[in-house]
Structure 1
Amino acid sequence: MKPNYAMELPEDFWIPIPLDTNNITEFSPFLVPQDHLGSRGIFYSMSAFMFFLFVMGTSINALTIACTVQYKKLRSHLNYILVNLAVANLIVSAVGSFTCFFCFAFRYMVLGPLACKLEGFCATLGGMVSLWSLAVVAFERWLVICKPLGNFTFRSKHAIVGCALTWVFALIASLPPLFGWSRYIPEGMQCSCGPDWYTSDNKYNNESYVMFLFCFCFAVPFTTIIFCYSQLLFTMKMAAKAQAESASTQKAEREVTRMVVVMVMGFLVCWLPYVSFSLWVVNNRGQPFDLRLATIPSCFSKASTVYNPVIYILLNKQFRSCMMKMMGMSYSDDEESSTSTQSATEISKVGPA
C-alpha cells in the first residue's frame, strides 16, 4: 500500500498537480522525484543549465563587486547602481540558481519546504532589486544626458538613495508571501520555487498579489525604462543632427542606439515571459495548461544574472579594464576613453542649459 504523502506536508506548500489519476498524494514535490513531469534527461539538462548560471552569475557579479572595492576610479554614481545590480544578481545566482541546480539533480525539491521559502524569497528579492536597478540606471542616464532639470548634477548621494529605494521596493514585493499574502511554493517542474500565481486559493489572495506585482514591479519600471531611453535616443539624434560633421558624435549616436536596443530587449527577454504566463493563468482560471511551462520563464529570469552584467558591466570600458587588470591581463583603453569623453562632452551640449 502506497503512503499518503499529503498528510505529511505543510498546508501552505501543497499544490495539487492536475494528472490523470485519482491519487495525487503520491506526487509530493518534497518527497518523491517528479518523473511524471519529464524524463530524467530533461531534469539533468536543467540541472546542468542551472549549474552554468550559478558558476557564471556568481563569478561575474562577485568580480564586479571586488573590482569596485579595489579600484577607486570605479566608485562613480553610475557604477554604484551597477554594483547594486551585481549584488542583486549575486543573491539570485548564489541562492536561487544553486538551489535549482541541486534540486533538479534529484528531480524534486529535496531540500524541503523551508529551503523552498528561502529560494522563492531570495529569487523574488534579487529579481525585484534588479528590475528597479535597471529603472534607476535609465533614470540616471536621462538626468545626466537629457538634462531635464537644467544644471542639476546627479551625485553619488543620489545614486545611494536610488539604490536604497530599490531594496525598499523589493522588500515590499517579496515579503508579503511570507506573511500570508500569496505564498512561495514549487513551480514548473517542482524543482524551483516562486510566488503562487497558478492556484486560486482565496485564503492567500493570489490574484491580487499577482496584479500588484504586475503593476508595481513590472509596469512601473518598464514604463520608466521606455520613457527615459526614448528621450535619450531623441537627445542623441538631436546631437548627431546639430553636429553632423563630428565623426565622434555620429559614432556615439550609433553606439547608444545599439546599447538602448540591447538593454530593452534584455529586459523583455528576462521578465516578459514570466509576467505574460502568470497573467494568462490568473485571468484564465479553469483553462488547462501544462505546469511544466512555468519552468521556461523561471529560467529566463534567472539567466538575467549572467546577461545583465554582460550588457551593463562588461560593456562598460572602466569595468572591463579593471576586471582584466585584476585577472592579470593587460588592457589599454586610453584611446577609447578619450573618444568616449569627447563624445559625451559634445552630446551634453545639446541638452538644455
Structure 2
Amino acid sequence: MLPVLGMLNDSAVQNLSLGDSRGSPTAGLSRTALNVVAVCLGCIMVLGSLYNFLVLLIFVKFEAVRTPINMILLNISVSDLLVCIFGTPFSFAASVSGGWLIGQQGCKWYGFCNSLFGIVSLVSLSMLSYERYLAVLKYAKVDASNYKNAWICIVGSWVYSLSWTVPPLFGWSSYGLESSRTTCSVVWHSRSPNNVSYIVCLFLFCLVFPLLVMMFSYGRIVRIIQGQMCRINLTAAQKREHHLLFMVMCMVTCYLFCWLPYGLVSLITTFGKPGTLSPTISIIPSILAKSSTVINPLIYIFMNKQFYRCFLSILKCESETHNSDFTFNSRHSRELHMKENGSIQHRINQSFPRKDTMSSAAKQQKFTLVVHHIDYR
C-alpha cells in the first residue's frame, strides 16, 4: 500500500549520513515523540505477531476453516505477519535509538517489504469483495469448493504487488528515509518526470482501482441484501452469507480507516507545497497503517464463527470442535438452499415425513441427504 511520504529531496536522501541521524531527535522527531512512536510500534509488533500467528495456527490445526474464501483471508494474515517480522522491528529500533540503524540498503529493503505486503493486503481485499459479489449476486453459478480460483487470487495478488514494488529498486522512483528518519518508503516528494509518473501509476492502480472494485462489488451486494431482507423467512444458508458479508465489509472499512490517511498524506507531500506537513504529522498515518496488522486478525476471530469456535477450542486445549454446524460452508449453503427451495416449512416436512402422496422411504432418503450436507464436508 502507499507508504507515508518523505519530506527530503533526492540529493538529501542520497547524501544523508544515516549514522549521524542516530541520537539526534531534532533532525526528525523530538525525543518525546520518538518515545511515543516506539511504544505504539512495540505494541503493534507484539500484538500483530501474536494475533496473526494465532490465525495461522487455526488454519494448520483445523481443516474445517480451509475454505476458499478463508484461504484469501489467510493470505491477508500472512502479509500482515510478514510486516510485523520484516518491517515493524526495524522502525521500532530506530525510534528507540533516535535514528535509522541499518544503512541505505536496509532502508531500501524496508521500504520495498512494507510496500509489497501492504499492496498484497489491499489487492486481496478487493479480490475478496469480488468473490462475495459472485457468491451473493450470482448465487447459482459459483462453486465455493473451487480452490483453484482461490489460489489464482493469492498468487495474482503477490505478482501484482511485485510488479509495482520492484521498479523503484531499478530506477523508476526509489526508496529512501522519511522525514522522521525512523522509517523508509518510496521517495514521493521528487518532482522529476520519472518519479511523478511512478507515483501517478501507483496511486491509480494500487489504491484507486482496488477501491473501485470494492465499491462496485459491495454496492451491488447491498442492493440484493436489502431485497432479501424483505422476506419473512431467511434460510440458515442465507443468514450465514449475510454474516460473512458483514465481516468482510468491516474488514474493508477498518483497513481503509488505517490506510487511507497514509495515501492522502503521501499525495499532499507529493503535489503540495514543500514543508506543509511536519514529521510529527507524517508519522501518525504511518502508525495507523501498521495498526491494520492487529485489527484484521481480531475481525477474523471474533466475527467469523468458524474462527471463533476454533479459537475457543485452542483455549480449551481441544483437538477439534464438536459443533455439527461448524463445517457448514458456502457450497453446502447453496446445496441446502436448492433442496429447501427457500422454504422452512419444506425442511420441516422432510424432517418429519407424513403419509401423503410421497412414500416415507423417499422422504427419508431426502432427509438423509440434507443431514449429510450440513454435518460433513
What residue is the counterpart of 2:158 in the other structure?
Answer: 167
Contact 1:240 1:253 in 2 (8 A): no
What residue is the counterpart of 2:291 in the other structure?
Answer: 303
Shift of residue 199 of structure 1?
A: 3.0
Sort the Cα spacing of 1:238 and 1:344 in 2 relative to 1 into closer, same or farther, 3 A.
Answer: farther
Shift of residue 257 of structure 1?
A: 7.2
Worse-matched range after superposition: 40-49 or 163-172: 40-49
Worse-matched range after superposition: 320-329 or 128-137: 320-329
Are positions 1:15 and 2:13 aligned together? Answer: yes
Aligned residue identity for 2:115:
T
Q: Which has the higher contact order (CA 8 A, sep 6+)?
A: 2
Aligned residue identity for 1:100:
S
What residue is the counterpart of 1:117 in the other structure?
Answer: 108
What residue is the counterpart of 1:182 in the other structure?
Answer: 173
Structure 2 CA distance, aligned partners of 1:263 and 1:299?
18
Aligned residue identity for 2:142:
F
Aligned residue identity for 2:216:
F
SS of the residue corresponding to residue 15 of structure 1 reads helix
What residue is the counterpart of 2:97 in the other structure?
Answer: 106
What residue is the counterpart of 1:6 in the other structure?
Answer: none
Worse-matched range after superposition: 317-326 or 189-198: 317-326
Worse-matched range after superposition: 303-312 or 43-52: 303-312
Sort the Cα spacing of 1:147 and 1:313 in 2 relative to 1 into closer, same or farther, 3 A.
Answer: farther
Contact 2:129 2:248 in 1 (8 A): no
Are positions 1:218 and 2:207 aligned together? Answer: yes
Could you list the per-position Cα deviations for residues 190-217 of structure 1 after superposition, in whole angstroms to 9, with x for gaps in the alignment?
1011111123355xx2211111111110
Structure 2 CA distance, aligned partners of 1:78 and 1:13?
46
| Pick aligned residue for 2:71 from 72, 75, 80 | 80
Contact 1:182 1:209 in 2 (8 A): yes
- Structure 1 residue runs of 5 or longer lacking an equivalent are 1-10, 17-24
Aligned residue identity for 1:152:
V
Aligned residue identity for 2:13:
I
Contact 1:184 1:193 in 2 (8 A): yes
What residue is the counterpart of 1:93 in the other structure?
Answer: 84
| Pick aligned residue for 2:222 from 233, 236, 253 | 233
Aligned residue identity for 1:50:
L
Sort the Cα spacing of 1:73 and 1:260 in 2 relative to 1 into closer, same or farther, 3 A.
Answer: closer
Structure 2 CA distance, aligned partners of 1:127 and 1:87?
11
SS of the residue corresponding to residue 87 of structure 2 reads helix
What residue is the counterpart of 1:320 in the other structure?
Answer: 308
Could you list the per-position Cα deviations for residues 268-320 of structure 1 after superposition, in whole angstroms to 9, with x for gaps in the alignment?
21221111111122222546432332212211111111112222454211122
What residue is the counterpart of 1:20 in the other structure?
Answer: none
- Structure 2 residue runs of 5 or longer lacking an equivalent are 1-8, 343-377
Structure 2 CA distance, aligned partners of 1:93 and 1:286?
31
Contact 2:188 2:199 in 1 (8 A): yes
Structure 1 CA distance, aligned partners of 2:337 and 2:172?
48
Contact 2:133 2:218 in 1 (8 A): yes
Structure 2 CA distance, aligned partners of 1:153 and 1:320?
25
Structure 2 CA distance, aligned partners of 1:106 and 1:339?
51
Superposition pairs of residues 30-109 of structure 1, within 5 angstroms: 30-32=19-21, 33-36=23-26, 37-109=28-100
Could you list the per-position Cα deviations for residues 114-141 of structure 1 after superposition, in whole angstroms to 9, with x for gaps in the alignment?
2211111111111011011111111111
Sort the Cα spacing of 1:273 and 1:151 in 2 relative to 1 into closer, same or farther, 3 A.
Answer: same
SS of the residue corresponding to residue 177 of structure 2 reads strand
Aligned residue identity for 1:44:
N
- The TM-score normalised by the length of structure 2 is 0.76
What residue is the counterpart of 2:148 in the other structure?
Answer: 157
Sort the Cα spacing of 1:249 and 1:234 in 2 relative to 1 into closer, same or farther, 3 A.
Answer: farther
Sort the Cα spacing of 1:78 and 1:338 in 2 relative to 1 into closer, same or farther, 3 A.
Answer: closer
Sort the Cα spacing of 1:295 and 1:286 in 2 relative to 1 into closer, same or farther, 3 A.
Answer: closer
Give the structure with higher Rg (CA). Answer: 2
* Number of residue equivalences: 327
Contact 1:82 1:313 in 2 (8 A): no
SS of the residue corresponding to residue 194 of structure 1 reads strand
